[in-house]
Amino acid sequence: IKFEEITAIINPALDKYFPADGGVRIIAEPGRYYVASAYTLAVNIIAKKVIVKEQSPSNEEEDDETNEKTMMYYVNESI
C-alpha cells in the first residue's frame, strides 16, 4: 500500500471528524509512518502542556473560562 493511498482515505476522515473550526491541530510525521511497522510496538504520552490564548485587554472583565485552551501532547520515541 502506498502512502498516497492511505492519505486519500485519512485526509477526508480528518476533515470530517476534526473540522478546521474545531480547534484541533494535527501534525503528521510521515517519516514515522515509513519505519513504524519495523519497530513501533507502543508509544507513551510523556508530557502534556495546556496553552491558554490570552484575551485582548478590552475583554479583561470576562472570567477566565472564556480563554481559549489548547493541548499539546509529547510522546516518547516508542518501542
Lookup: cell for 34: 515509513
Render pLDDT for 6-45 as a digit per residue (tens, 0 to 9). Answer: 889 999 999 999 998 888 888 777 776 677 666 666 778 8
**Domain segments of the chain: what residues?**
1-39, 41-79
d(CA 46, CA 48): 7
Residues 6+ apart with CB under 8 A from 78: 36, 39, 40, 41, 42, 43
Residue the block writes with cell 484541533:
24
pTM for the predicted model, two decimal places: 0.38
The pLDDT of 61-77, averaged and rounded, is 74
Within 10 Å of residue 1's Cβ, how many Cβ atoms? 5
- Give me 75's grid cell: 510522546
